[in-house]
Amino acid sequence: FGSSHFGSSPNFHSASPAILLLAAMDFFSCTSACRPCDIATDTVKFDSAAIGAAAPASPASERRQEEHQQPQQGEEVRAAEARCRELEAQQQFMDQEREEQCRPKEQEEELRREQEEQEAEDRRRQRDQGECEERLRVQEKVRAAEEAAEEAAQGAFAHGEARRAGQDRKRKAAVAAFLKMHGFTGGVSGAKRNLMNSTYPLHRAAKTANAQMVEYLLMEGADPMQANSAGRNAAQV
- Burial grade of 175 (CB within 10 A; 0-12, 13-18, 19 or more): buried
pLDDT score, position 196: 81
Q: How far apart are CA 224 and CA 169, in angstroms?
A: 22
Alpha-carbon distances, residue 118 vs 15, 105, 122 (angstroms) = 87, 20, 6
What value does the mean pLDDT take over residues 142-151? 92
- Burial grade of 188 (CB within 10 A; 0-12, 13-18, 19 or more): buried
Largest CA distance in the chain: 206
Q: Are 151 and 192 in contact (CB under 8 A)?
A: no
Describe the crossing of helices 211-219 and 59-181 by its angle, rounded to 10 degrees.
Answer: 120
pLDDT score, position 118: 94
Collapsing DSSP to helix, strand or coil, 196 comes out as: coil
Cβ partners under 8 Å of residue 179, min gap 6:
185, 187, 188, 201
Q: Where are the beta strands (DSSP E) in the chain?
A: 192-194, 197-199
Higher pLDDT, 216 or 104: 216
Q: Are 205 and 179 in contact (CB under 8 A)?
A: no
Collapsing DSSP to helix, strand or coil, 47 comes out as: coil
Q: How far apart are CA 120 and CA 76, in angstroms?
A: 64
Collapsing DSSP to helix, strand or coil, 15 comes out as: coil
Which of the four pLDDT bands, split at 50, 70 and 90, describes residue 1?
very low
Structure confidence by residue, pLDDT tens digits, 112-137:
999 999 999 999 999 999 999 999 99
3-class secondary structure per residue, 64-79: HHHHHHHHHHHHHHHH
pLDDT score, position 67: 64
Boundaries of every domain in the chain: 1-56, 182-236
For the cut 80, the answer to whether the pLDDT of residue 39 exceeds it is no
Angle at 186 between CA 207 and CA 225, to 5 degrees: 50
Helix H or strand E encompassing 144: helix 59-181
